[in-house]
Homo-oligomer: A and B are copies of this chain.
């Protein structure tokens, strides 16, 4: 890591952002389930969303607001109910929430963005949520990052936030964010919400390019269970509050900013995988020697999404046959006798067949919490990295009982 990543202030690490967490009456437990993030001045905002063909109402409304307004002021997030598959009524609910936030903080409705997570198919208790808005506005502060990260949790077991800073042409610029996982999680996008903020001064087009680039290797290269949600959303807001003297930072400054942004997003993405539903192991699949980068990613995903690989890792069984089986099921051409596989540096497959490492020794390498599966396809220079977790009985238990 080039940058020091901390996790103290999260989404309000950057200047000019404030956040609060309150109960909007969605979670039965009465816990906080609503977070309001506000930028003191107008911010440039960009977003990436789920590729699910049945996007939730907040996704539809946020997409619309990103298209119709060039600046944004606030993001309202909630957990407990996804406002997905709720039809026209759900869209109206989302619009009412935006109007409510706009009125509370004094901006236009289209300057408000939304993100929801939770059960699909239930309506939001909009009246109660609107009733909680004055309290949410009253509590806005630069100290509530952790509380906000906690309020958007569903089956997450820990709140997730990260921040760093980078000096851009003499001025310190901050980047921070929060995220939640932790099931129905798969790239393009993972099932997740994340909000990243920065006080960098940057144009919207560059901001969008930065989000897409940083997202490709982070949030879009993780998976818990192969399930693309209806609600996945990553927002990135930049309000320029750091006070950069130059209007247009140079190329190397932009590169530094992108690197810092990538590290913050990557930290959040990894923290989602570490906290995957029922996860006991963090598994990184590194593929090299692919014909191209996309082919290497196809291979990495095929391995990382395999239930049999994930259960073998859970059982600390270096059953490399399952790694090759899942690799062979991927739609890419392979040279069987060139394939090499290592787990935590222990060679398991060489020239496509057993490398001769005794199983006991191989299994020992799996005892650690962090597992790296390295696959060399031996046919080119394409590389990819993909992160997932093991599949445990606990995942099944969590998801068999989710609504009960």
Contact = CB atoms under 8 A, between A and B. Distances in A.
A400 B307 CA distance: 10
A403 B317 contact: yes
A396 B403 contact: no
Number of this chain's copies in the complex: 2
Nearest to A308: B227
A225 B308 contact: yes
Contact of A52 (B328, B359, B392, B397): B328
B399 A54 contact: no
Nearest to A320: B121
Interface in A386-404: 391-393, 395-397, 399-404
Contacts of A54: 324-325, 327-328, 334, 336, 352
Nearest to A230: B325
Contacts of A334: 53-54
A85 B321 contact: yes
A267 B329 CA distance: 26
A108 interface: no
A308 B86 contact: no
A391 B359 CA distance: 28
Contact of A326 (B84, B227, B324, B332): B227
Contact of A352 (B85, B183, B321, B328): B85
Contacts of A354: 85-86, 121-122
Interface in A34-61: 51-55
A198 B314 CA distance: 44
A87 B353 CA distance: 6
A158 interface: no
Task: Categorize the interface residue count of chain A.
Answer: 35 or more
Interface in A156-178: none
Given A230-B325, A325-B52, A307 B403 contact: no
A184 interface: yes
A319 interface: yes
Nearest to A336: B54
Interface of A: 51-55, 82, 84-87, 89-90, 119-122, 183-184, 186, 225-230, 306-308, 311-312, 314-315, 317, 319-322, 324-330, 332-334, 336-337, 349, 351-354, 359, 391-393, 395-397, 399-404
Given A87-B353, A184-B325, A312-B400, 19 more contacts: A52-B325, A54-B334, A82-B321, A87-B351, A90-B353, A120-B319, A121-B320, A121-B324, A121-B349, A186-B329, A227-B307, A227-B308, A228-B325, A230-B328, A317-B402, A319-B403, A359-B403, A393-B393, A393-B397
What are the 7 closest A-B residue pairs judged by CB atoms, nearest first? A120-B321, A315-B400, A54-B328, A311-B399, A393-B393, A228-B329, A52-B328
